Structure formats: C-alpha cells, structure tokens
Structure 1
Amino acid sequence: MNAWVLRAVGLGALTVVLRTLLGFAMVYWPTNGGWMRPLCLIVLVVAIVAWGYLDGRADRRAHPDPEHGTDLTMRWLKAAIAGGLGSGLVAWLLDFLPKFDLGDNGLLFELTAGASFIVLLIFVPGVIGVAAGRWLTGREHKKNGGAGAPAESVTPDPEPVSPEPAGV
C-alpha cells in the first residue's frame, strides 16, 4: 500500500470517528460542546503532527544529507486531499443512518468546504511534524556525528632515544 494511502485512510477514519463521537456527545450532553469540540480538534492535530514527526525522523535517518531526502510534501498533500474528500463522503453517508447526527450537511458542502478544512487540517500539521522531525534528527545527527566515529587513540610520542656512542 502506498504511504500516502495509508495516511489518508488512517487520518480520514480518525476524522470520521471523532466527528461521530462528537455527534453522539452533542446529542446526550449538548451543554458540554464548548470543551468537546476543541478536544476532538486537539486529538486529531496531535495524531497528525506525531505521524509527520515520525516521517521526518525516518527520512532524515535514511538520508542524512538534506539535499537528498524524500519528497514528503507531496506524500502529505495527497494524503490530505484523499483523507479530506473521503472523510467528507463517509460522514455524509453516515448522516443518513438513524441516531447519527453529523451536522446534516449536504454532499456539496462535505466535498467542498468541509473537505477543504480537513485537507488543511491534515496537510499543515503534517508538514510541520515532518519539518520538526527532520530538524530534530538532523541536530541529533550533527551533535553525535563526531561521537559516532571511532575515536583515534591518542598515544604520547615516545621520547627520542639518543644513540649512545659506541666505544666510549
């Protein structure tokens, strides 16, 4: 499976799960929405940044030279577009089921405005996580660069021995 497909499916599914949980919670505890919405947003952003960080760290370890790394921007952009459109479509379909309250948004809204928000919500924190992972791993590599090389043994120069004159 392509790396971007895995990210799109995983993060799109997490988005739908969080929207569904938020929908159920808003039905049963409508006065607690003030803290539940930001909590769901924080959970999603932390998951995205963490995954991006792991990507950046793995890429910097595989390619210590910054000029020869993998293009993770396109990987995250494709994952964000597919995750945003897929989560919007799945949320629209789930909204037809009884007891599911996901906002009663139309398909046009879910595939345009809703999906564009999710695309940005996946792409921007993902790229921030990649940059942080690359930067921190690069710093670690530079700091340990000398320590990772075998240390040269430092032996003092032997004192020169002056030849004794023969026959004195």
Structure 2
Amino acid sequence: MTAWVLRATVLGALVVALRVLLGLAMASWPTYGTFWRAACLLTIVAVVVAWGVRDGRTGADGLTVRWLAAGFGAGLASSAVCWALDQVPGFELGDAGILYELTSAASFILLLIFLPALVGVAFGFTRSRRSAESATRAPEPEFADAK
C-alpha cells in the first residue's frame, strides 16, 4: 500500500469515527457542543501533527505531495461515508447534502490534514537535523599559545 493511501485510510476512518461520536455526543449533551467540537478538532490535529513529525524525522522526499494526496483522499472518502451514514435512520451527522459534503466538508478536511501535517513535518525535519548536527560535531582541540 502506498504511503498516502495508508494515511488517507487511517485519517479518513478517524474523521468518520469522530463525526459519529460527535453526533452521538451532541444528541446526548447538546449544551456541551463547543467542547465536543473542540475535542474532535484537537484530536484530529494532534494525530496529524504527530504523524507529520514522524515523517519529518525520517527525512523522506515528497512529503508535501504525499500529505496533499492523503488529505484529498481522506476528505473525499470521509465526506462520502458520512453522507451515507447520515441517510441511515438513527445517525445524526448534520443533515448536510451530498454537494456540501463532497465540496465544502471535503476541502475542510483536506486543509485540516494538510496544514498541520506540514507543520509537523517541518518541526520533525528541524529536530532531526539539529540532532544530527550535534551528533556529528566533534569538539575542537585547544591549542596553547606559543610565545
């Protein structure tokens, strides 16, 4: 399985699971909607940043395109699955239409995955470069002044 497909599958499944949990939480505790939305948003961002840091530390090439493709795949797939689940009685995911899900919601998920991933990649790359420089740097010998 290519790297972006794995990322898109895992993150798309995470988005669907969190949207279903958010729907259940909103039905049970509607007054805590802001808290539940923020918790879901922070969960997705934390997972993406952690994965991006891991990628950045490996120093692989083509991470921008890999994460863009993963965000695109996860956004479209999770939006389509959430729309299909919303059609099932008992699931409350917002009653959004298919056009909204495949355009606005998918592009939001794309950006929600792509931007934090690039921040994580940059941080991981910087950290790995600093640790590599400090590991290869040898102490300079001290010479006594001969006068």
> Residues of 2 paired with 1:145 and 1:120: CA distance?
37
Asked which structure has the greater CA Rg, the reply is: 1
Q: Provide the C-alpha distance between the structure 1 equivalents of 2:33 and 2:13, rounded to a whole number of angstroms.
A: 21
Amino acid at match of 1:71: G
Match of 2:114 in 1: 123
**Cα displacement string for residues 31-85 of structure 1 (whole angstroms, at most 9, x for unaligned residues):** 11121110110010000000011011112xxxxxxxxx51100000000100100
Structure 2 counterpart of 1:142: 133
Q: Work out the percentage of aligned pairs sharing the same amino acid.
A: 51
Aligned to 1:43: 43
Give me the TM-score of the superposition, normalised by structure 1. Answer: 0.80
Alpha-carbon distance in 2 for matches of 1:97, 1:28: 18
Deviation at residue 107 of structure 1 after TM alignment:
0.6
Displacement over 3 Å in runs of 4+: none
Displacement of 1:98 after TM fit? 1.8
Give, in angstroms, the shift of residue 146 of structure 1. 2.6
SS in 1 for 2:105: helix
Q: Which amino acid counterpart does residue 96 of structure 2 have in structure 1? A: N
Instruction: Kindly report the root-mean-square deviation, in angstroms, between the aligned alpha carbons of the 2 structures.
Output: 1.4
Q: Among residues 71, 85, 89, which one is paired with 2:80 in the alignment? A: 89
Aligned with 1:141: secondary structure? helix
2:90 & 2:28 partners in 1: Cα distance? 11
> Aligned-pair distance for 1:96?
1.2
Normalising by structure 2, we get a TM-score of: 0.92
Structure 1: state its 5+ residue gaps. 60-68, 155-168
More helix by share: 2
Aligned length: 140
Task: Quote the residue 1:27 is aligned against.
Answer: 27
